[in-house]
Structure 1
Amino acid sequence: MSAASRAPLTLAGAVVTTLLLSACTSGGKSGGSGGTGFVMGEDGIATVKKAERDTAPELSGATVDGKQLDVSAYDGKVVVLNVWGSWCAPCRAEAPGFEKVSQDLKADGVQFVGINTRDTSTKNALAFEEEQGVTYPSLYDPTGKLMLRFEKGTLNPQAIPSTLVLDRDGKIAARSLAPLSEEKLRKMIAPVLAEK
């Protein structure tokens, strides 16, 4: 293949890469009602009525610090899943608020779990957690395999960062595909935490 014929392919590859990476900073909003059972609020947070929620997939494996974690061990708690990467500036911006809310709501039965993705080694992920003061566990998912376990048409994580709130039954109650302020994060968790 000549250099001239490779140029369009290289350009196409660059465009696709740019679009994928822009999800980190754009806070793109995807979804809506359209028969999927979830509703997107003006704040970019999609929610599902309790009776219409899908069960989260099995999420387990090694954490960034080499331990084993199975999210199902937190059944009975509200679980906040945050998909992040050490290279993602919006992830860095939201991390201190996530840690603060995690500490504030721990006694109320809320468990935070990170899903670190696209980091080529745990070294960068561990440095991020130390720098940001993150104390809750994060599954290490460098190739995005855990993210792919979420069924299409559900409130699945589609961007970095993405945040999901699982109810006490392990069902997906809410999702944000944009970075969250501490205030928006609390607003996202509160209705699920209030459920009995």
Structure 2
Amino acid sequence: MTGHKPRAHRRRRAQVGAAAAAVAALLLSACGSDGDGGASAAGGGGTNFVTSTNGIATVAKGERRAAPRLQGETLDGGQLDTGDYKGDVVVLNVWGSWCAPCRAEAKNFVKVADETKDQGVRFVGINTRDTSTQPALAFEKEEGIEYPSLYDPTGRLLLRFEKGTLNPQAIPTTLVIDRDGKIAARAMQPLSEEKLREMLDPVLAEK
């Protein structure tokens, strides 16, 4: 009888690993896309989001779905819980140090994060597909990123987002979460400062 539990445990681990690998492979394949290709279709199948010609998908305030609560260790060894940020607007950016489009947009995130930090805006990264924290920490230092990033090498945190919502499906992906903890906007492409503001400012202006 003692042999059954280890086998069952290995099966569970294999299933979780396979699911995480599938998500990570999807995200990895999206990195390097050069614009709106991954985000050009309007939501369908009962979803409530609409994607504009600039590749930014948005949801009307009364039709948004709650973002999952994300908890875990940050790249610098601290702990982060997005549940602590309710009442703030959260900009959530999925990135990897190996991803050239992530590097291209990083300076824009640093600038907007600095400009909005006193307006109730929290920037949070989700670092994924980096097999150790060292290259990710080097990326942050080089780009001057001071806001925290959850370390999610296998994409497990990304599995918490419901399919059919504005869930992350590419690297980079950026989500804007409103003060009620609901997903208001998504972009699955590297963002200029202007496009990031297009996503953030309308949510920030909501009362």
Q: TM-score, normalised by structure 2?
A: 0.84
Q: How does 1:107-122 map to 2 (within 5 A)?
A: 107-122=118-133
Q: CA deviation at 1:31?
A: 4.8
Q: How does 1:137-148 map to 2 (within 5 A)?
A: 137-148=148-159
Among candidates 14, 31, 49, match of residue 24 of structure 1: 31
Q: CA deviation at 1:150?
A: 0.1
**Which whole-Å deviations, capped at 9, do the CAs of 1:62-101 have from their partners, x for residues lacking one?**
0000000001111100000000000000000100110100
Structure 2: 5+ residue runs without aligned partners? 1-23
**Which whole-Å deviations, capped at 9, do the CAs of 1:141-194 have from their partners, x for residues lacking one?**
000001110000110000000000000011000000011001100111011001
**Count of residue pairs the alignment pairs up:** 180
CA contact (8 A) 1:56 1:150 kept: yes
Cα-Cα RMSD: 1.5
**Alignment partner of 2:131: what SS?**
coil
CA contact (8 A) 2:39 2:57 kept: no
Give the letter for the 1:23 counterpart: A
1:160 and 1:54 map into 2 onto residues whose CA distance is 22
Assess, with a 3 A threshold, how the Cα gap between structure 1 residues 76 and 20 changes in structure 2: closer, same or farther.
closer
**Alignment partner of 1:107: what SS?**
coil
CA contact (8 A) 1:87 1:119 kept: yes
Assess, with a 3 A threshold, how the Cα gap between structure 1 residues 59 and 30 changes in structure 2: closer, same or farther.
farther
Q: CA deviation at 1:30?
A: 5.8
CA contact (8 A) 1:60 1:69 kept: yes
Q: TM-score, normalised by structure 1?
A: 0.88
Aligned counterpart, 1:62: 73
1:49 and 1:135 map into 2 onto residues whose CA distance is 31
| Percent identity over paired residues | 71
